[in-house]
Amino acid sequence: MQDIEEPKAPEREGAGGGSLHPDPGYVNAMSHFYRGELGRIMAWRTRLDATTNWAITVTSTVFTVAFSIRDVPHGIFFFNIAVVWILLWIEARRYRFYDAFRARVRLLEAHFLVPMVMQGSHFLQGDWQKILCEDLLMPSFKITKFEALGRRLKRNYVYLFILILAAWVTKIFLHAPVAVTSWSTFFDAIAAGHGMPAWVVVGVFVSTFLGVIGTTAYISRVSPGEFTDFGVRKRALWKM
């Protein structure tokens, strides 16, 4: 009796007509590369959290000193704002490194993992392998310093700055030498305790507020985020 030959499973075709990734060594190397890049962005993500924690710690300490000791002038919030701006600048620099390595991970996910999951090569578009190799040979940032600063400001620091400014005004009202009942007494309270003209304090306050709000609004409008909303219909696909 003649044996019936079992049908062979169809090969996954790639752009050249063969299997999608015929070399197991290539798949293994790319898998380890993806894992390594993922670990690298997680390390940089931890460094971002560290600077944010420092900013929160400094702000909490300043608040404790400012509101627990009446004789401490409200000028202490100058120091608070300066430190938070410095930490924001440091975190923006770290974010540029994080974003550069995250771009590699997203490139691998979009052009390597997605075709592997879908078992098709029609997702392999563009010279992604050439782009990846060029970035490995000559690493480069993918966003500007201003955009990095704006993104971190939008994510965390805008709330810190608004909280500091609100605490600053509260400190002026609570610990004013004379009760604040008019604009003139308010300006007198602003200038009390540190010898700086009231217009300097108001200028720092207003410029900080406008700078923070303006930068956050601009970045929110022109810079895409890392994630997008699914929407009601697509979110239903993720129900377990």
Indicate the domain borders of the chain. 24-225
SS3 of residue 180 by DSSP? coil
Smallest CA-to-CA distance from 74 within 181, 212, 205 is with 205
pLDDT band at 12 (very low <50, low <70, confident <90, very high): very low
Give pLDDT, residue 75: 82
User: Would you say 191 and 178 are in contact if contact means Cβ atoms under 8 Å apart?
Assistant: no
CB count in 10 Å sphere of residue 163: 14
Within 8 A by CB and 6+ apart from 131, the residues are 107
SS3 of residue 2 by DSSP? coil
How much is the average pLDDT of 65-77? 87
Give pLDDT, residue 157: 94
Q: What does pLDDT average to over the chain? A: 81
- Stronger pLDDT, 10 or 132, i.e. the higher one: 132
- Stronger pLDDT, 124 or 7, i.e. the higher one: 124
Token code pair at residue 150: 């704006």
To which H or E segment does residue 166 belong? Answer: helix 158-174
Residue 13 bridge partners (DSSP): 19
- pLDDT of 80 > 80? The answer is yes
User: Would you say 84 and 125 are in contact if contact means Cβ atoms under 8 Å apart?
Assistant: no
pLDDT tens, position by position, 214-238:
999 998 888 776 666 655 556 666 6
Local structure of residue 121 (DSSP, 8 states): S
Token code pair at residue 48: 């971002």
What one-character-per-residue DSSP string does 46-92 give?
Answer: HHHHHHHHHHHHHHHHHHHHHHH-TTS-TTHHHHHHHHHHHHHHHHH
- Stronger pLDDT, 106 or 127, i.e. the higher one: 106
Token code pair at residue 210: 């406008």
pLDDT band at 30 (very low <50, low <70, confident <90, very high): confident
Give pLDDT, residue 58: 95
- pLDDT of 52 > 60? The answer is yes
Residue whose pair of structure tokens reads 């460094």 in the numeric block:
47
SS3 of residue 6 by DSSP? coil
pLDDT tens, position by position, 172-201:
888 777 777 777 777 777 776 666 777 888
How much is the average pLDDT of 139-161? 92
**What angle do the packed helices 198-222 and 183-191 form, to 10 degrees?**
90
Q: What pTM, to 2 d.p., does this model score?
A: 0.79
- pLDDT of 8 > 50? The answer is no
Within 8 A by CB and 6+ apart from 232, the residues are none
CB count in 10 Å sphere of residue 153: 22
SS3 of residue 19 by DSSP? strand
- pLDDT of 55 > 80? The answer is yes
Give pLDDT, residue 124: 60
Give pLDDT, residue 56: 95
- Stronger pLDDT, 148 or 70, i.e. the higher one: 148
- pLDDT of 108 > 70? The answer is yes
